[in-house]
Amino acid sequence: MKDIKVNALYIHIPFCIKKCVYCDFNSVVSNTKTIDQYLDAINKELNSLNGRYVFNTIYIGGGTPSVLTEAQLGKLLNNVVSCVQASEIKEFTIEANPGTLTSNKVRLLKEYLVTRVSLGIQSFNDKQLNFLGRIHSGNDAINAFNLLRNVGFDNINIDLIFGCPEQSFGDWESDLRTVIELNPKHLSIYALTYEEGTPLRRNWVNGNVKKLDECVELEMYKTAIGYLTDSGYNHYEISNFAKDGYECLHNYIYWRNEGYAGVGAGAFSFVDGLRTSNIRDVYQYIEGINEGRNIKTFSECLQHEHFASETVIMNLRLRQGISDKDFHDRFGYKIYDRFGRLINRLVEDGLISYDNETLKLTDKGLFVADTVMAEFL
């Protein structure tokens, strides 16, 4: 197996103004003092990477990175930029919530070489936004998008959620029409999920919330694919759409199962075949960094076969699929050599296609992608 390069840097900012009802991300509502201490801890962890890697992509995610004050944001960006070789950076993304962006913050992003902003809009419908517990309105979302455009951001992603209880087909079509009118370069669309431990799941279990029928959800997904591809978006990954040349380079690294370094509470890294994760709790993370303790709470050394299976699964998320030549270069054998019988069966069922060079999901397979991918484990 070839050495895996570490070209991507992820930085986690686990703070939000309030928790959305469906959220199971590592994020907390916190005060300025804790955020300051956290940024100092992040800086120490960044410095500990000590020029070990040459990063091509940076992704600051959360939580809500845009919740930081202008002074905090400036400090974070300054620290990040001084820890990397700026000339090597091809993409620098930050996530932002429309309710927390100001023109000064957006100007700071430009000043510190951020190239791409991912806006967590989720919906333009105020009833939906209210149900999800978002802090912004549909109008705020449009204003935030226009603010970014006016300051010169061309590469903007918009996240949308579909399948909210009581969301009608018309509501979803209206969201799609609005987003197409805004014409962002990239779009990520996700079905609402009912994760363990969230208020949304509790409300569903208690019978206070009724899930949308799965068939309706599937139709919403298919409708989105139709609308977006007709509007010039390339459906390049199960949940992701981009105008030509605007596919997310950072996420490609995850989908190809390549190496990355993660900094911050709960951040995962994948270095030298070892997958690790930092301590999740924000306060313990700060304490651990300040006391010089080991902050890794999880580590898994990926065995060759397991790594190979995982690589097939991750790559199948991409509509272009996985090249057998690339796979052979990485693992020393062809996908068909190991999965031949399974491939034959899935081809017969019309769920994947395989032409001796590329393995990929068919349109039929796309709609049951989780089940198909699980077969390769």
Interacting span for ligand SF4 (CB under 6 A) from 57-65, 271-279, 298-306, 359-367: 57-65
CA dihedral 203, 204, 210, 216 (to 10 degrees): 130
Q: How far is the CB of 100 from ligand SF4 (least distance, A)?
A: 9
Of 8, 11, 20, 141, which lies in the binding site for ligand SF4, with binding defined by CB under 6 A? 20
Range 201-240, binding ligand SF4 (CB under 6 A)? none
- Binding-site member from 63, 163, 262, 365 for ligand SF4 (CB under 6 A): 63
Name the residue whose CB lies closest to ligand SF4: 23
How many whole angstroms separate alpha carbon 143 and alpha carbon 160?
16
Mapped onto helix, strand or coil, the DSSP state of residue 3 is coil
Instruction: Examine residue 27 and tell whether it contacts ligand SF4 (CB under 6 A).
Output: yes
Helices 103-111 + 138-150 axis angle, to 10: 40
Instruction: Determine the Cα–Cα distance for residues 170 and 361; give it in Å rounded to an integer.
Output: 29
Give 180's strand partners: none
Please, which of residues 160-179 interact with ligand SF4 by CB under 6 A? none
23 sits near ligand SF4 (criterion: CB under 6 A): yes
- Residue 344 tokens read as 């034959």
In the bound state with ligand SF4, the residue whose beta carbon lies nearer, of 240 and 315, is: 240
Number of residues that bind ligand SF4 (CB under 6 A): 11
For 141, the token pair is 């979302």
Alpha helices (H) along the chain:
32-49, 70-83, 103-111, 126-132, 138-150, 169-182, 199-205, 214-230, 249-255, 282-290, 304-316, 324-331, 335-348, 363-366, 369-374
Could you say which of 55, 58, 62, 266 contacts ligand SF4 (CB under 6 A)? 62
Task: Report the residue number, 100 or 315, with the smaller CB distance to ligand SF4.
Answer: 100
Q: Is 19 in the site for ligand SF4 (CB under 6 A)?
A: yes
Among 37, 64, 155, 251, binds ligand SF4 (CB under 6 A): 64
Q: Which residues bind ligand SF4 (CB under 6 A)?
A: 16, 19-20, 23, 25, 27, 62-64, 97, 120
